[in-house]
Structures are given as C-alpha cells and as structure tokens.
Amino acid sequence: MAAAPLRALLASAGFDADVALAPFTVGHEGAPVRRAGGRLPVVVFSHGAHDHRSDTTVVVQELASHGYVVVTVDHTGDAFSAFPDGRVVVPLHDPQHILGPADFAKDIRFVLDRLEDLDAGENPDAEHRPLPAGLSGALDLQRIGMFGWSKGGTATALVMSEDQRVRAGLSFDGPMEPAVTTDLDRPFMMMTAVFTRAEDASVAAFWSRLRGWRLNIQADGAVHSSYCDNQVLIPQLAKMVAMSDEELRRWIGALDPTRALRIQQAYPLAFFDLHLRRGRGHLLDGPCAAFPEVKFLLPGR
C-alpha cells in the first residue's frame, strides 16, 4: 500500500499517521505473467466499507502463488487510495454520497468488462501505460470467481445475482444487506464471524436463496476482521503503540493470528480450486484435524 493513503488510513483508525510504513510483501508491480500452460483462472476482490484493495493481501498472494490472476479493486468514494498522478482519495462520509454494496457491484461489473478488453488484446489503462508482460491472452474468462470482505462480501452476492460471468463467490463475513432477491444456482461459500445466520436475519435469508453448492464455515474466536490482513498487521502495530491486550482482542478477536493466517491461506484456495479448477482436495468436505477451530455450520443452523 502506498505511503500517502496508508497515513490517511491510520489516522482514520485513531493511530498516529506516521507510526508505521506498510510492510513489504513478496509481490511487486510489473511482474510478468507466469504460465505453465493454458489460460489462468481469474478471481476478483471487493473490499469492505471505508477500506482499500490491499486488505486481504494474505489471500491474494496465496491465490496468485497457485496460478490465479487476482484483480483487486479500490471502490473510489469508499476507499483509501492514490491515483497515478498522486492524488489521494479517502472515503466519503456525506450521507448523500456514501457508496452501498450495489455501487460496489457496479464497479466490479465495470472491471469485468475491462477484463474482456484485456482478453481482446486492448489496453484499458486510462493513460495506456504498458501492461505486465504476458497478460494479454492469459486470462481464462470462463473461470471467474469473486470474493469480498464485509460490504464486499455483500457485493459479491449482488454481482452473482446479476452477472453470470462470475462462477463462484466467497464472502468474508458479509452482512448481506440489501437483500439478494433472486435465487443463486452457482457455488457460494460464507466464512462468518459477526454476521451469522443465527444472529442476522439478512444472512439467513441470503443462505436460503442459495440453490447450488453452498457452505458456511466459522472459526472459533473470530471477529469481523479475522479473515483479513488485520490478523497479521495489528499485532505488529500493537507493539509499536503499546496497545493493551484488551485493545488488541477488540481488533483481532480471540483467534490466534498464526492460525488465522493459515485459515486465510487454506480455505479460499480450496474453494476456488474446487469450483474453478475442479480440484480434488477434501478440506471442504467437513471438519479437519489440521484446523480444529474451523466449524462447519450445518444447512439448518
């Protein structure tokens, strides 16, 4: 994440804007596409309210390392981001201009259209800057998945209700409001924490609309942000600002950060492998001894 929007993000969360720089990751701009043969499946990510496209880097890099092209989206107007000319944009708080999940869904459908341009050999960049080597012709647009956190999880459901191009959807604790009013016949998985079927009528109503493959899992001790990078970043930040244990738990819950990291790496990958690659793994078949904290919530629960 670039320094300027990161400072704005930290300040919005009540931290000193200069307390930290974003840690380095194994990803970098301009990397060429690596193809072992054939086109690569695509997964699109939608972030939560007042957030940014980098907040699930753990998941994004895991998917990319297994041969997925992952497209992350900053929803301008509800994101901390920077344009190529250096302008920093932050979330809008004016009630007349706040973006909802339906606005996020429109953004994603626009992005899907631009991916079709890429596939046709065009360069949709506004300034026609060079694309990474090998990107053109590398995307398999017959195998598109989507995932999102919070509002982005709801947007995932809305996109799938409107656009057949997305074959499989995954929600990280999406509140599922506004309600999806049509049945979905394609695979959908929910990783819940706060917005559960037992506690939230809108989530239960959405679950009842799922007519295809469906799964709801939940990690013991998880909070709303437990399936995002907060599990990796906030413990580091806590040491810098002398955060109390109680404050840290409010941020990341009781789920051990190392375990949360493994869950983020394993379950989204297993889901997209199953439904975009017809993988034969068994992680999603039921409870697993390697992940004792992950509970499979039965259809009626």
The 10 Å CB-count burial string (b at 16+, else e) for 225-235 is bbbbbbbbbbe
| Cα atoms in the 13 Å half-sphere on the side-chain side of 33 | 20
- Whole-number Cα distances in Å, 69 to 128, 263, 288: 20, 20, 28
| Secondary structure of residue 100 in the 3-state scheme | coil
User: What pLDDT was estimated at residue 300?
Assistant: 61
| Centroid of chain to Cα 173 | 10
pLDDT in tens, 21-74: 888 888 888 889 988 788 999 999 999 999 999 999 999 999 999 999 999 999
Neighbours of 182 (CB within 10 A): 10
CA–CA gap between residue 194 and residue 207 (Å, rounded): 15
pLDDT in tens, 87-136: 999 999 888 888 999 999 999 999 999 999 998 889 999 888 888 888 88
Radius of gyration of the chain from its Cα atoms, rounded to whole angstroms = 19
Q: Using an 8 Å Cβ cutoff, are 175 and 195 in contact?
A: yes
On the question of pLDDT at 298 being above 90, the answer is no
CA–CA gap between residue 96 and residue 109 (Å, rounded): 23
Q: Using an 8 Å Cβ cutoff, are 67 and 40 in contact?
A: yes
User: What pLDDT was estimated at residue 301?
Assistant: 55
List the structure tokens of 295: 């509970």
On the question of pLDDT at 210 being above 70, the answer is yes
CA–CA gap between residue 90 and residue 99 (Å, rounded): 12
The pTM for the full model equals: 0.95
CA–CA gap between residue 130 and residue 292 (Å, rounded): 46
User: What pLDDT was estimated at residue 291?
Assistant: 98
Once rounded to an integer, what is the mean pLDDT over residues 199-210? Answer: 96
Q: Burial level of 213, CB count in 10 A (0-12/13-18/19+)?
A: middle
pLDDT in tens, 221-280: 999 999 999 999 999 999 999 999 999 999 999 999 999 999 999 999 999 999 999 887
